[in-house]
Every structure is written in structure tokens, then in C-alpha cells.
Structure 1
Amino acid sequence: MSTALLLIDLQNDFCPGGALAVQEGDQVIAVANQAIEVCRRRGWPVVASQDWHPASHRSFAIHAGEAPGTLGTLEGLPQVWWPVHCVQDQPGADFHPDLNLAGIDQVFRKGQNPDIDSYSAFFDNGRRTETELDSWLKGKGITTLVVMGLATDYCVKYSVLDALALGYTTSLITEGCRGVNLQPDDSERAFEEMQQQGAHLIALKSFEMGAH
């Protein structure tokens, strides 16, 4: 059984000071670096997703004429209108400066189609197109994923649910996640949903000791 670590959107705009800052988002970077070290010792690959929007992305509230954080519809799908964030080649889209980039084997960008949002590292929100992530993992013989990142209630949740649907045994390092929490309990509900669908919620310590 071969394992990989999947880091979700550890980017400046999702950390304090960023355009779509997640509370304590920067605190997961140290967790990520420890998990990367575990993988380096074991010879496991580390992959990362990167939100990579064109400036014209239609999920941005400014283009919809709506207030950030409100709900609408885009291309027939429910849509949260977001602040402009993770725009291609802008500092906000860069990975957090403290993240051990040298320890990451491959980066998979998402959200590049301006007409549809992409929370999951695997598919856009309509599952109309997919990234290269699944084929890359399958090409490496990966059957087990350990996931962490930002944000618990959106990109982490949808990535984990897709990983499970694609047949990966999937664990989530809980202290390596933080949520947007448009509603106060969104992250808790996301953890519950992921667990109900078959994800294992683990601590970094148990990952370091070999439990995943």
C-alpha cells in the first residue's frame, strides 16, 4: 500500500493578512512541514494543490455585483461569492513563505476556468473537468492519501470527499486544517461529513508514529 500526503491550498491569501484569510490559517504551515518531514523519511510523495484564478473569475463577488460571503448561482451551481483571491502570478496566490516547498514533489493548480469554481483538488465544482492529480497518483501506485490544509469547510472537504469517491483510503490531519466558517459550526460539520463518508480523522502525532 503506497501513501502520499496531499496539502490543500497553503497560500498567502488564505492566511492572516490575505484576501480570504482563514483564522489561524498560518498555524497549519508548521504542521505541514512536520508532515512533509515524515514523508521524506518514509519515501512517500508529497503533492499540493494551488488555487490559481484568472482575475476575471466569475466566482469573485466584484464580478457578480454581490457582497462577499453571500450565496448565489454560477453556471447552474450554488456559489459563494468570494473576495478576489489567489489570482494567477500575484503574491496572494503564492504558497506561504514558511512552507517547505523543496519537500513538495508536484503541484496541481485548480480554479483556472473563469466560469466555474473549483474547491476540490481533483475536479471543478460541477465535476466537468478534472486536474491531473488522480492520474498522477494512480501512476505512482498511490492508494492511500493523508490530507490537510485550507480551508476545512471548502477545499479540504471537497478534496477529501472526491478522494474517497475515487477509491483512496483517506485520512485527515485535523490540526493541519482551519476553516472559513461563514457559519460558526461549518468546520465541525465538515469534519463530521468527511468522517461519515469514510475519512479517518487523525492527529499529527499518530501520523508521525505510522497510523494513517
Structure 2
Amino acid sequence: MQKLAALILVDVQPDFMPGGALACHEGDAIVPGIDRLLRRRVFEHTVATQDWHPRGHISFASTHPGSKPFQSIPLHGHPQTLWPDHCVQDTPGAALHPAIDWSPADLILRKGSNPDVDSYSAFRENHGPGDTRPSTGLAGWLRERGVNEVYVAGLARDVCVLWTVQDALALGFKAHVLWDLTRPVTPDSDATTRVTLKAEGAAVVETIEQL
């Protein structure tokens, strides 16, 4: 039986895998489980986000002379981590992971394509304070289809997955995190991420078998 809830798969791309330009801790470990989940077609709607940066993107440390990856600068009202160049448009590292059958996805949402604005969340850009951040259009797309509940998996647990869940909750969606199908940039963040998610009202699901 399908769930009317939507599955949101965040940035499952080669550049976030071990050996990639911005490797997440054990990022490749989630690939088989996500592929199995998609093949089960548990969800009526599936959204895949794709980090899709132009060369020279504002979030790249290389764009800021004298800066190094993982430094932080203020940008558009938020602290901006400067990342290694990653998910550059039309490069193999920016593709959706080739070991996953993406055919069940009915929306591919590319984000981070504005050279001057980063996009962690699937719902809103990293520009401006709180609720004034510009929408990606995903919330409206989901509501048009009667969806008021989302399950989120992907990369990275402590950045784009976290921001996506936080925005889903702020926009009135019930949100679940498929914890075993996420991985962080660094596992040192896991305790804080879990506390933050639960404090803000997200359900943390330890295994896809609970679906």
C-alpha cells in the first residue's frame, strides 16, 4: 500500500561519496538501501534533489582568494561554509548516483544553480532571514498533490537533510528522517543533529523496515 506522504531524497550524488569532491562519512553506504526503497514504490510521490552548481559558485572556497575549504563567512544573513568545488553542472560528480534506479522519482529538483546563493534545503534558498528565504517551489508542488507529510533521506545528514527537514516542519509538513539512509559530513555532528531534529518535531526512523 502506497503512502500519500512524499519521499525526498537529498543530493545522492557521486561528489558526496567517498573519493568524491566533498565526501560524506560513509556516504556510499546508503546507496543500496535507497535503491531498494525506490524499487518497492512505497511512496506515491518521490522527489530527488540535485546539487547543481555553476563554476565559481559563491559557496566554493576557491571563489574567495585566501580562503580554505570549511572556513565560514557571513553571506545573505547566514553563516556560509566554504566548500571544496563540488557538484559542478554537467560533471560526473553532479549526476544522480548511477547505481540507483531513479525512474520512480516524479520530480528532480536542481538546487544551488544561482551563482550567488547556496541552497541547502529542498524547500528554500539560503538567502535572507527565516521565513523570508525564497521558495524553490517544492512546498507548492507537494500541496497541489495533497501531500502533507514527508520522509527525508540522503546527504548530508547534518547539512542539506537537516535544513530540508527543518523547512518542511516550518512550512507545516509532518516530517520523518530515515536515519539509516542518511550520512553526515562528519559523524561528530550526529548527536547534535539528532537532538535538533527531535526538538523541532521531526520523527527519527531508525530503519526503513518501520515504514
- Cα deviation digits, residues 94-127 of structure 1 (max 9, x gap): 0111111112111111111111211001111125
Contact 1:108–1:132, Cα closer than 8 Å, also in 2 = no
Give the secondary-structure state (helix, strand or coil) at the position aligned to 1:153: coil
| Aligned residues with identical type, % of pairs | 42
Contact 1:109–1:131, Cα closer than 8 Å, also in 2 = no
2:184 counterpart of 1:171:
no
How do 1:10-25 residues align onto structure 2 when only pairs under 5 Å count?
10-25=12-27
Corresponding residue number in structure 1 for 2:85? 84
1:86 and 1:110 map into 2 onto residues whose CA distance is 10
Corresponding residue number in structure 1 for 2:202? 199
Q: Which amino acid aligns with 1:47?
A: V
2:48 counterpart of 1:48:
yes
Contact 1:68–1:82, Cα closer than 8 Å, also in 2 = yes
1:149 and 1:157 map into 2 onto residues whose CA distance is 10
Give the secondary-structure state (helix, strand or coil) at the position aligned to 1:185: helix
Give the secondary-structure state (helix, strand or coil) at the position aligned to 2:165: helix
- Cα deviation digits, residues 137-188 of structure 1 (max 9, x gap): 111100110111100000000000000011111111111010012xx52122
Q: CA deviation at 1:57?
A: 0.6
For structure 2, the 5+ residue unaligned runs are none
- Cα deviation digits, residues 59-117 of structure 1 (max 9, x gap): 10001121101111223421111000011111111011111111211111111111121
Per the alignment, do residues 43 and 153 of structure 1 end up closer, same or farther by CA in structure 2, a change over 3 Å counting?
A: closer
How do 1:31-110 residues align onto structure 2 when only pairs under 5 Å count?
31-38=33-40, 40=41, 42=42, 44-65=44-65, 66-110=67-111
1:189 and 1:177 map into 2 onto residues whose CA distance is 15
Contact 2:73–2:82, Cα closer than 8 Å, also in 1 = yes
Contact 2:46–2:107, Cα closer than 8 Å, also in 1 = yes
Out of 27-36 and 58-67, give the one that drifted further: 27-36
Corresponding residue number in structure 1 for 2:136? 131
1:50 and 1:23 map into 2 onto residues whose CA distance is 19
Q: Which amino acid aligns with 2:27?
A: G
Give the secondary-structure state (helix, strand or coil) at the position aligned to 1:194: helix
1:43 and 1:86 map into 2 onto residues whose CA distance is 27
1:156 and 1:28 map into 2 onto residues whose CA distance is 13
For structure 1, the 5+ residue unaligned runs are 208-212
Q: Which amino acid aligns with 2:199?
A: Q
Q: CA deviation at 1:43?
A: 5.4
Q: CA deviation at 1:190?
A: 1.2
2:191 and 2:153 map into 1 onto residues whose CA distance is 15
Q: Which amino acid aligns with 1:86?
A: C
Out of 67-76 and 77-86, give the one that drifted further: 67-76
1:124 and 1:177 map into 2 onto residues whose CA distance is 21
Number of aligned positions between the proteins? 203
1:144 and 1:128 map into 2 onto residues whose CA distance is 21
2:148 counterpart of 1:143:
yes
